[in-house]
Amino acid sequence: MSWYNYVACFFAGAFLANVVPHFVHGISGNRFPTPFAHPPGRGLSSPTVNVAWAWLNLIVGYVLFRAGKVSPENYASLIVLLAGIVAISTILSFRFRQKMTQ
């Protein structure tokens, strides 16, 4: 595999992990930050915007998953996908923890 396939694997993990909080908050009827809020990423968006943002993340994540050629036979692609999930999950946990304490 080429290097760009691994980049796609990493970002596939990041986008797919980002689906979860937006979808859960959206279908629960809760407001949650999105890039479309005012100010972007800090203000709260409506539940409908969160569901739409979750779907967009899912579509982009799936396209990158396919572009990354993730497969059970290629352990490196799975590890890089997992690294993307871990990275965005960790970054966002710190980001939202700081937001809640302000």
Q: What are the domain boundaries of the chain?
A: 3-101
Question: What's the predicted TM-score (pTM) here?
Answer: 0.89
**Inter-helix orientation angle 3-27/47-67, to 10°:** 160
Q: Report whether 40 contacts 71 (CB < 8 A).
A: no
1-42: pLDDT as tens digits = 899 999 999 999 999 999 999 999 999 999 999 999 988 878
Distance CA 3, CA 25 (A): 35
Query: CA torsion, points 88, 94, 95, 96, in degrees to nearest 10?
Result: 110
Q: Which of 93, 96, 78 is nearest to 33 (CA)?
A: 96
CA atoms in the 13 A half-sphere facing the CB of 62: 7
Provide the pLDDT for residue 101.
Answer: 44
